[in-house]
Chains A and B, each alone.
Chain A
Protein backbone atom coordinates (compact mmCIF):
# COMPACT_ATOMS: atom_id res chain seq x y z
CA UNK A 1 0.00 0.00 0.00
CA UNK A 2 1.23 3.48 -0.81
CA UNK A 3 -0.32 6.52 0.77
CA UNK A 4 -0.90 9.38 -1.65
CA UNK A 5 -1.84 11.97 0.91
CA UNK A 6 -1.05 12.41 4.53
CA UNK A 7 -4.42 13.17 5.99
CA UNK A 8 -3.63 15.22 9.06
CA UNK A 9 -0.88 17.39 10.39
CA UNK A 10 1.11 16.62 13.51
CA UNK A 11 2.47 19.12 16.01
CA UNK A 12 5.12 21.55 14.74
CA UNK A 13 8.11 19.54 16.04
CA UNK A 14 7.20 16.87 13.47
CA UNK A 15 7.74 19.54 10.82
CA UNK A 16 11.14 20.30 12.34
CA UNK A 17 11.99 16.58 12.21
CA UNK A 18 11.07 16.52 8.51
CA UNK A 19 13.52 19.34 7.82
CA UNK A 20 16.30 17.81 9.94
CA UNK A 21 15.80 14.43 8.25
CA UNK A 22 15.88 16.02 4.79
CA UNK A 23 19.25 17.65 5.46
CA UNK A 24 22.72 16.20 5.91
CA UNK A 25 24.90 16.82 8.99
CA UNK A 26 22.07 18.46 10.92
CA UNK A 27 20.94 16.99 14.25
CA UNK A 28 17.83 17.85 16.21
CA UNK A 29 17.81 17.52 19.99
CA UNK A 30 14.25 17.40 21.15
CA UNK A 31 13.21 17.86 24.76
CA UNK A 32 10.44 15.28 24.84
CA UNK A 33 9.01 12.77 27.30
CA UNK A 34 9.05 9.03 26.81
CA UNK A 35 6.42 8.19 24.24
CA UNK A 36 7.02 11.18 21.99
CA UNK A 37 9.71 9.03 20.38
CA UNK A 38 6.86 7.41 18.44
CA UNK A 39 7.52 10.14 15.85
CA UNK A 40 10.50 8.02 14.69
CA UNK A 41 8.20 5.51 13.13
CA UNK A 42 6.61 8.06 10.81
CA UNK A 43 10.01 8.02 9.12
CA UNK A 44 11.06 4.40 9.55
CA UNK A 45 7.67 2.75 8.97
CA UNK A 46 5.61 5.12 6.81
CA UNK A 47 8.42 6.59 4.72
CA UNK A 48 10.43 3.38 5.24
CA UNK A 49 13.77 5.10 5.63
CA UNK A 50 16.52 2.60 6.44
CA UNK A 51 17.80 4.75 9.32
CA UNK A 52 16.43 6.59 12.30
CA UNK A 53 15.78 10.30 11.82
CA UNK A 54 18.69 12.42 13.12
CA UNK A 55 16.85 13.19 16.33
CA UNK A 56 17.88 12.74 19.96
CA UNK A 57 15.08 12.80 22.49
CA UNK A 58 15.62 13.51 26.18
CA UNK A 59 12.91 10.91 26.94
CA UNK A 60 12.26 12.15 30.44
CA UNK A 61 9.73 10.23 32.45
CA UNK A 62 7.40 11.12 35.31
CA UNK A 63 10.02 10.66 38.01
CA UNK A 64 12.47 12.96 36.19
CA UNK A 65 10.06 15.85 36.73
CA UNK A 66 11.04 15.82 40.41
CA UNK A 67 14.68 16.30 39.38
CA UNK A 68 16.59 18.52 36.99
CA UNK A 69 15.15 18.12 33.50
CA UNK A 70 17.23 21.11 32.33
CA UNK A 71 20.44 19.21 33.09
CA UNK A 72 18.97 16.20 31.30
CA UNK A 73 18.53 18.36 28.21
CA UNK A 74 22.06 19.79 28.39
CA UNK A 75 23.51 16.29 28.72
CA UNK A 76 21.47 15.14 25.71
CA UNK A 77 22.78 18.01 23.57
CA UNK A 78 26.39 17.40 24.62
CA UNK A 79 26.11 13.64 23.99
CA UNK A 80 24.42 14.09 20.62
CA UNK A 81 27.10 16.56 19.57
CA UNK A 82 29.86 14.14 20.60
CA UNK A 83 28.23 11.09 18.99
CA UNK A 84 26.99 12.50 15.69
CA UNK A 85 29.43 15.40 15.18
CA UNK A 86 26.84 17.43 13.23
CA UNK A 87 27.58 20.71 11.46
CA UNK A 88 24.53 22.35 13.04
CA UNK A 89 22.21 21.46 15.89
CA UNK A 90 18.53 22.32 16.12
CA UNK A 91 17.09 22.40 19.64
CA UNK A 92 13.52 22.60 20.82
CA UNK A 93 10.75 21.05 22.83
CA UNK A 94 7.92 18.77 21.80
CA UNK A 95 4.33 19.75 22.53
CA UNK A 96 4.40 17.99 25.90
CA UNK A 97 7.85 19.21 26.96
CA UNK A 98 6.90 22.77 26.07
CA UNK A 99 4.76 22.75 29.18
CA UNK A 100 7.71 22.45 31.58
CA UNK A 101 9.34 25.57 30.09
CA UNK A 102 12.99 24.49 30.33
CA UNK A 103 14.17 26.90 27.58
CA UNK A 104 16.09 24.45 25.36
CA UNK A 105 17.52 27.32 23.29
CA UNK A 106 19.09 29.04 26.28
CA UNK A 107 20.38 25.77 27.75
CA UNK A 108 22.01 24.76 24.47
CA UNK A 109 23.61 28.19 24.03
CA UNK A 110 25.10 27.82 27.51
CA UNK A 111 27.07 24.79 26.31
CA UNK A 112 29.00 27.12 23.95
CA UNK A 113 29.39 24.51 21.20
CA UNK A 114 31.61 25.40 18.25
CA UNK A 115 28.85 24.76 15.69
CA UNK A 116 25.70 26.78 14.97
CA UNK A 117 22.93 26.01 17.46
CA UNK A 118 19.50 26.96 16.21
CA UNK A 119 16.82 27.34 18.88
CA UNK A 120 13.35 26.56 17.60
CA UNK A 121 10.32 28.18 19.18
CA UNK A 122 7.47 26.04 17.92
CA UNK A 123 4.25 26.88 19.76
CA UNK A 124 2.56 23.50 19.63
CA UNK A 125 -0.77 24.72 20.90
CA UNK A 126 -1.16 27.37 18.21
CA UNK A 127 0.66 25.93 15.19
CA UNK A 128 0.97 22.65 13.32
CA UNK A 129 3.39 20.51 11.34
CA UNK A 130 3.68 22.44 8.08
CA UNK A 131 4.22 25.70 9.90
CA UNK A 132 6.86 23.99 12.04
CA UNK A 133 8.70 22.81 8.93
CA UNK A 134 8.64 26.29 7.35
CA UNK A 135 9.77 27.96 10.57
CA UNK A 136 12.60 25.45 11.04
CA UNK A 137 13.98 25.96 7.54
CA UNK A 138 13.65 29.74 7.95
CA UNK A 139 15.49 29.78 11.30
CA UNK A 140 18.21 27.46 10.03
CA UNK A 141 18.83 29.47 6.85
CA UNK A 142 18.77 32.72 8.82
CA UNK A 143 21.39 31.35 11.19
CA UNK A 144 23.81 29.79 8.72
CA UNK A 145 23.39 31.80 5.49
CA UNK A 146 26.36 33.98 4.70
CA UNK A 147 25.83 37.56 3.68
CA UNK A 148 26.69 38.34 0.09
CA UNK A 149 29.55 40.83 -0.26
CA UNK A 150 27.49 42.56 -2.95
CA UNK A 151 30.03 41.87 -5.70
CA UNK A 152 29.49 39.58 -8.64
CA UNK A 153 32.72 37.85 -9.55
CA UNK A 154 31.63 37.34 -13.15
CA UNK A 155 32.68 39.86 -15.76
CA UNK A 156 29.71 41.88 -17.12
CA UNK A 157 29.55 40.29 -20.55
CA UNK A 158 30.20 36.72 -19.46
CA UNK A 159 27.27 34.40 -19.98
CA UNK A 160 26.13 33.17 -16.61
CA UNK A 161 24.26 29.94 -16.71
CA UNK A 162 21.15 30.42 -14.61
CA UNK A 163 21.20 28.58 -11.33
CA UNK A 164 18.47 27.88 -8.83
CA UNK A 165 17.84 26.20 -5.53
CA UNK A 166 14.81 24.02 -5.05
CA UNK A 167 13.38 24.62 -1.61
CA UNK A 168 10.38 22.91 -0.13
CA UNK A 169 10.76 19.16 -0.47
CA UNK A 170 11.19 17.45 2.89
CA UNK A 171 11.37 13.99 4.39
CA UNK A 172 7.94 12.39 4.79
CA UNK A 173 6.81 14.46 1.83
CA UNK A 174 5.46 11.44 -0.08
CA UNK A 175 5.64 12.67 -3.71
CA UNK A 176 8.45 15.14 -2.96
CA UNK A 177 11.16 12.82 -4.24
CA UNK A 178 9.31 12.40 -7.54
CA UNK A 179 8.66 16.16 -7.67
CA UNK A 180 12.34 16.97 -7.21
CA UNK A 181 13.27 14.58 -10.00
CA UNK A 182 10.67 16.02 -12.37
CA UNK A 183 11.35 19.68 -11.57
CA UNK A 184 15.12 19.31 -11.83
CA UNK A 185 14.66 17.47 -15.14
CA UNK A 186 12.50 20.33 -16.49
CA UNK A 187 14.97 22.96 -15.28
CA UNK A 188 17.89 21.03 -16.74
CA UNK A 189 16.10 20.92 -20.11
CA UNK A 190 15.76 24.71 -19.92
CA UNK A 191 19.49 25.06 -19.20
CA UNK A 192 19.02 25.98 -15.55
CA UNK A 193 21.43 24.37 -13.13
CA UNK A 194 19.97 23.15 -9.84
CA UNK A 195 22.42 23.91 -7.09
CA UNK A 196 20.88 22.00 -4.23
CA UNK A 197 17.66 20.89 -2.74
CA UNK A 198 16.46 19.30 0.41
CA UNK A 199 16.05 15.52 0.83
Chain B
Protein backbone atom coordinates (compact mmCIF):
# COMPACT_ATOMS: atom_id res chain seq x y z
CA UNK B 1 0.00 0.00 0.00
CA UNK B 2 3.08 2.22 0.09
CA UNK B 3 2.99 3.00 3.79
CA UNK B 4 6.34 3.85 5.27
CA UNK B 5 6.73 2.64 8.81
CA UNK B 6 8.73 4.95 11.11
CA UNK B 7 8.75 3.00 14.34
CA UNK B 8 7.05 0.06 16.01
CA UNK B 9 6.92 0.31 19.78
CA UNK B 10 5.71 -2.29 22.22
CA UNK B 11 5.79 -2.54 26.01
CA UNK B 12 7.31 -6.01 25.81
CA UNK B 13 8.83 -7.80 22.86
CA UNK B 14 9.09 -11.59 22.90
CA UNK B 15 11.19 -12.30 19.84
CA UNK B 16 10.30 -16.00 19.65
CA UNK B 17 6.54 -15.50 20.01
CA UNK B 18 6.60 -12.71 17.43
CA UNK B 19 9.19 -14.19 15.07
CA UNK B 20 6.74 -14.43 12.14
CA UNK B 21 5.43 -10.90 12.65
CA UNK B 22 8.94 -9.49 12.94
CA UNK B 23 9.87 -11.14 9.65
CA UNK B 24 6.99 -9.27 7.96
CA UNK B 25 8.30 -5.85 8.99
CA UNK B 26 10.21 -3.91 6.32
CA UNK B 27 13.98 -4.25 6.74
CA UNK B 28 15.41 -1.59 9.01
CA UNK B 29 12.14 -0.80 10.83
CA UNK B 30 12.95 0.84 14.14
CA UNK B 31 11.75 -1.27 17.06
CA UNK B 32 11.28 0.20 20.51
CA UNK B 33 10.63 -1.86 23.59
CA UNK B 34 9.59 -0.50 26.96
CA UNK B 35 8.06 2.88 27.53
CA UNK B 36 10.47 5.76 27.78
CA UNK B 37 7.58 7.82 26.54
CA UNK B 38 9.39 11.17 26.45
CA UNK B 39 12.11 9.82 24.17
CA UNK B 40 9.50 8.10 22.06
CA UNK B 41 7.60 11.39 21.70
CA UNK B 42 10.86 13.14 20.75
CA UNK B 43 11.39 10.57 17.97
CA UNK B 44 7.76 10.92 16.90
CA UNK B 45 8.06 14.71 16.62
CA UNK B 46 11.31 14.33 14.67
CA UNK B 47 9.71 11.85 12.25
CA UNK B 48 6.49 13.92 11.95
CA UNK B 49 4.48 10.95 10.62
CA UNK B 50 1.12 11.39 8.83
CA UNK B 51 -0.54 9.00 11.28
CA UNK B 52 0.36 7.94 14.82
CA UNK B 53 -1.18 4.72 16.13
CA UNK B 54 -0.95 5.20 19.87
CA UNK B 55 -2.44 4.45 23.26
CA UNK B 56 -5.42 6.38 24.61
CA UNK B 57 -3.21 8.35 26.98
CA UNK B 58 -1.26 9.98 24.16
CA UNK B 59 -3.94 10.52 21.50
CA UNK B 60 -5.38 13.85 22.66
CA UNK B 61 -2.00 15.45 23.48
CA UNK B 62 -0.70 14.41 20.04
CA UNK B 63 -3.85 15.69 18.32
CA UNK B 64 -3.33 18.98 20.18
CA UNK B 65 0.16 19.10 18.67
CA UNK B 66 -1.33 18.64 15.21
CA UNK B 67 -0.75 14.93 14.71
CA UNK B 68 -3.41 12.64 13.28
CA UNK B 69 -3.92 9.67 15.59
CA UNK B 70 -5.55 6.28 15.73
CA UNK B 71 -6.20 4.48 19.02
CA UNK B 72 -4.14 1.28 19.07
CA UNK B 73 -6.84 -0.46 21.10
CA UNK B 74 -9.20 -0.30 18.10
CA UNK B 75 -6.85 -2.64 16.25
CA UNK B 76 -7.33 -5.11 19.10
CA UNK B 77 -11.12 -4.85 19.37
CA UNK B 78 -12.09 -4.56 15.70
CA UNK B 79 -12.54 -7.86 13.85
CA UNK B 80 -10.05 -7.53 11.02
CA UNK B 81 -9.27 -11.14 10.27
CA UNK B 82 -9.72 -12.65 6.84
CA UNK B 83 -10.24 -11.18 3.37
CA UNK B 84 -13.85 -10.12 4.00
CA UNK B 85 -12.76 -7.81 6.82
CA UNK B 86 -9.69 -6.40 5.10
CA UNK B 87 -11.73 -3.33 4.16
CA UNK B 88 -12.50 -2.69 7.83
CA UNK B 89 -8.78 -2.90 8.59
CA UNK B 90 -7.97 -0.39 5.87
CA UNK B 91 -10.80 1.80 7.19
CA UNK B 92 -9.17 1.96 10.60
CA UNK B 93 -6.21 3.72 9.04
CA UNK B 94 -8.06 5.81 6.47
CA UNK B 95 -10.79 7.22 8.76
CA UNK B 96 -8.57 9.49 10.89
CA UNK B 97 -6.81 10.73 7.74
CA UNK B 98 -10.14 11.49 6.05
CA UNK B 99 -11.41 13.22 9.17
CA UNK B 100 -8.30 15.40 9.24
CA UNK B 101 -8.82 16.31 5.57
CA UNK B 102 -12.44 17.27 6.25
CA UNK B 103 -11.46 19.37 9.26
CA UNK B 104 -8.89 21.23 7.20
CA UNK B 105 -11.34 21.79 4.33
Contacts and interface: CB of A to CB of B under 8 A. Distances in A.
Interface of A: 34-35, 37-38, 40-41, 44-45, 48-52, 56-57, 59, 61, 79, 83
B38 interface: yes
Contacts, number: 49
A40 B57 contact: yes
B38 A56 contact: yes
Contacts of A35: 11
Contacts of A45: 56-57, 59-60
Which of A34, A44, A49 has the largest number of chain B CB atoms within 10 A?
A44
Given A50-B64, A51-B64, A83 B58 contact: no
Interface of B: 11-12, 34-38, 55-61, 63-64
B54 to A, nearest CB: 11
A52 B35 contact: no
A38 B12 contact: no
Nearest to A40: B57
B92 to A, nearest CB: 19
Contact of B11 (A41, A49, A50, A61): A61
Contacts of B38: 56, 79, 83
A44 B58 contact: yes
A73 B12 CA distance: 20
B36 to A, nearest CB: 7
